[in-house]
Amino acid sequence: MIKLYGLEISGNTYKAQLLMSLLGIQYDFIELDTDNLQHKSAEFLQLNPRGEFPVLQDEDHIIWDSQAILIYLASQYSLKNHHWFPCKPTDMAAIAQWLSVANGEIFNTLGKARSVILFQRPGDLSLLRQQGEQLLKWINHHLQQRDWIATRQASIADIACYPYISLCEAGGISLDGYSHIHRWFKNIESLEKYISMPGLYA
C-alpha cells in the first residue's frame, strides 16, 4: 500500500492527494504532527533528509518533493491517461516549465503570503501580495485562450499550479477579476474524482 506523509492543510500535500484521487490510487495518509516537529524527527529524516513534506512511500521507493511525486505518480500509474505527463518532448518541456513556476513564483508569493497569515511564518506580506497580484495577472493572461495551463489536456502542471492559486485569498490576495483563472478552476473541479481541500476558493 502506498503511504503519503503530509499535512491536510498543505497545498503541496494536496497536489499528491488530488492526483491520486484522479488516478484512482488507494493509499494510506499519515498526518504529521508538525506542532511537535515530527517532520524534523530522526525517523522522518530517514524518509526525507530535508525534513519537508509531502513524502510518498511506494514499497521500497521513497519520493520527496511534491513536483517529483507528481511525475512519479503520473509515470507509474497513469498508463491509460498519458495526458497527465505525456512523453512528447515539447509537452514534457511545457509541463516542466510550469512545475518550476509552481515551485518558484507561485509558492514564493501566493503560498508564502498564506503561510505568513496562517502559520505566522516570517515574510514581507505587503511585498508578497504585490508580487502575487502581478503573477495572477500574468497567469490569467496566459489562460486567456487556453483550457489547461501547459498542454491541450489536463496535466500534472495544472495539479502543481492549482492549489496555491486557489488558496491565495487566505494570504489576502483577491481572485476577483481573473475570469480566465476562474474558468480554469472550473475545468479542474469538473474532472472525474476531483477532491477539494480546506480553504480552497469557492
Distance CA 169, CA 111 (A): 10
Distance CA 80, CA 74 (A): 10
Q: What is the structure's pLDDT at 202?
A: 55
Asked whether the bond before 54 is cis by omega within 30 degrees of 0, the reply is: yes
pLDDT digits (tens, 9 = 90+) for 135-177: 999 999 999 999 999 999 999 999 999 999 999 999 999 999 9
Crossing angle, helix 156-166 and helix 11-23, to 10 degrees? Answer: 140
CATH architecture of 83-189: Up-down Bundle (1.20)
Distance CA 194, CA 163 (A): 13
> Of all residues in the chain, what percent carry a pLDDT higher than 90?
82
Compute φ and ψ for 27, nearest 5 degrees: -155, 160
CATH 3.30.360.10 fits 2-81, yes or no: no
User: Cell 509531502 identifies what position?
Assistant: 54
Query: pTM of the predicted model, to two decimals?
Result: 0.94
User: Cell 514534457 identifies what position?
Assistant: 92
Domain chopping of the chain, boundaries: 2-81, 83-189
> Of all residues in the chain, what percent carry a pLDDT higher than 70?
98
